[in-house]
Amino acid sequence: MSFDNAYESLLGGEDAHWAFGTGFSEALSGVDREFPAGVDREALAVYCLMLGDDALIFSQRLSEWCSRAPELEEDIALANIALDLLGQARMLLTRAGEVLGRDEDALAYLRDEREFRNVHLAEIDCGPGPGGDFAATIARLLVFSSWRLALFSRLRGSADPVLAAIAEKGLKELAYHRDHAAQWTVRLGDGTDESHRRMQAGLERVWPFVDELFATHAVEAALAGVAVDPASLRSEVDGVLEAVLSAAGLTRPADTRAARVAGMAGRDGVHTEAMGYLLAEMQHLHRSLPGAVW
């Protein structure tokens, strides 16, 4: 992940491939690096980890479809969406690392499970291994991208200049992610009996993890003017999902909530069983060959 600088791409033109690490020269070139006055830097670092881990872990999940998607064009599309999210993760982890004293690679590959702050929706296993299903992945992408697009739309007004810049850069990407997922949802939901059944089953699979997206964490509450209160996003996201499901002829699943441990979930570092397996694969090479470059 690490190149000269994860921030240079914020100033790139329309053709800048910021997910690939090209064109990075000076740290935070052109972006105001100063921390907002009166802001708790430790809380800001944790908030950046939250948003960065969401993107990093979901990017890892989407990359699992590489060479396994139902058609070649979709194979490329999911890989590109994963790269977009990886680009967002790089910048957010770099911002967190300015407080924590660890670079983006260390934060991605050398943290243990309890140190990750991503929501459960990003980590659950929807495929492509045994029992995995493309429709469930599309359902997750629809929910995740609708939620993150609403969040980034508000994050553009953050008092932290780096968060605001990252949000501004990510909006077009997330709008594409949401549109791509919506088109597939309608295509499958309004398709054959089998595709409709599987799309509905995919929604049922991910829906217990939706409620967590809108639960306000203490870190978010402590960063007024910097962070976005996820509870404020619920009506907007619900409206988008209702419109897509209606067009697809699908039924909104019952609002159930996945079980928590002592009231804690992903934002608190408490994860599902799937997370350990995901990290074992994602971190294996870096931990096996520490310091290696190629």
6-31 residue pLDDT tens: 656 555 555 444 444 433 344 346 78
**Residue-level pLDDT at 30:** 77
Query: Rounded to whole angstroms, how far apart are CA atoms 23 and 11?
Result: 10
In a domain, 111, yes or no: yes
State the pLDDT confidence band at 3, using cuts at 50, 70 and 90. very low
Chain centroid offset of residue 220 CA: 17
Q: What average pLDDT does the segment 234-256 reach?
A: 97
Each residue's pLDDT tens digit, 261-270: 888 999 999 9
The SS3 call for residue 226 is: coil
Give a yes or no: residue 293 inside a domain: no
**In the structure encoding, which two tokens stand for residue 174, read together?**
């997330």
Considering the chain, what percentage of its residues have pLDDT values greater than 70? 88
- What is the number of domains present in the chain? 1
Does residue 26 lie in a domain region? no
| CA–CA dist 234, 239 (Å, integer) | 8
Q: Give the residue-averaged pLDDT of 185-203.
A: 97
In-domain check, residue 18: no
Give me the pLDDT at residue 88, please. 96
Establish if 108 belongs to a structural domain. Answer: yes
Domain contains 34: no
**pLDDT above 60 (res 124):** yes
> At 122, is the pLDDT very low, low, confident or very high (cuts 50, 70, 90)?
very high
pLDDT (average), residues 144-153? 98
- Secondary structure tally for the chain: helices H, strands E: 10, 0
Residue 13 lies in a domain: no
For the chain, report the end-to-end CA distance as a whole number of angstroms.
12
pLDDT tens digit string along 55-104?
999 999 999 998 888 899 999 999 999 999 999 999 999 999 999 999 99
- Rounded distance between C-alpha atoms, residue 17 and residue 240, angstroms: 29
Q: How far apart are CA 25 and CA 17, in angstroms?
A: 14
Contacts of 191 (CB under 8 A, 6+ apart): none
pLDDT band at residue 255 using 50, 70 and 90 as cut-offs? confident
At residue 18, the pLDDT reads 42
Compute the C-alpha angle 57/105/127, nearest 5°. 20
The pLDDT value given to residue 10: 58
What's the CA gap between 209 and 202, in Å, rounded? 12
Whether 131 shows a pLDDT value over 70: the answer reads: no
Q: What is the CATH number for 212?
A: 1.20.1260.10
Look at the pTM and tell me if it is higher than 0.85: yes
93 located within any domain: yes
Q: What is the pLDDT of residue 4?
A: 54
> Dihedrals φ, ψ of 97, to 5°?
-65, -20
Among 28, 43, 286, CA closest to 166: 28
Beta bridge partners of 261: 264
CB 182 within 8 A of CB 244: yes
Q: Would the pLDDT of 2 be above 70?
A: no
Give the CA angle between residues 260, 53, 231 to the nearest 5°: 55
- Identify the sign of the CA torsion 264, 211, 47, 64: positive
Q: Coil, helix or strand for 264?
A: strand
- Amino acid at the residue 179: D
User: Cα separation of 178 and 210, whole Å?
Assistant: 16
Q: For residue 151, give its domain range.
A: 39-288
What confidence score (pLDDT) does residue 21 get?
41
Give the Å distances, CA to CA, from 200 to 6, 129, 184, 248, 271.
39, 20, 12, 10, 25
Given a contact cutoff of 8 angstroms between Cβ atoms, the answer to whether 1 and 104 are in contact is yes
- Does residue 172 register a pLDDT over 60? yes
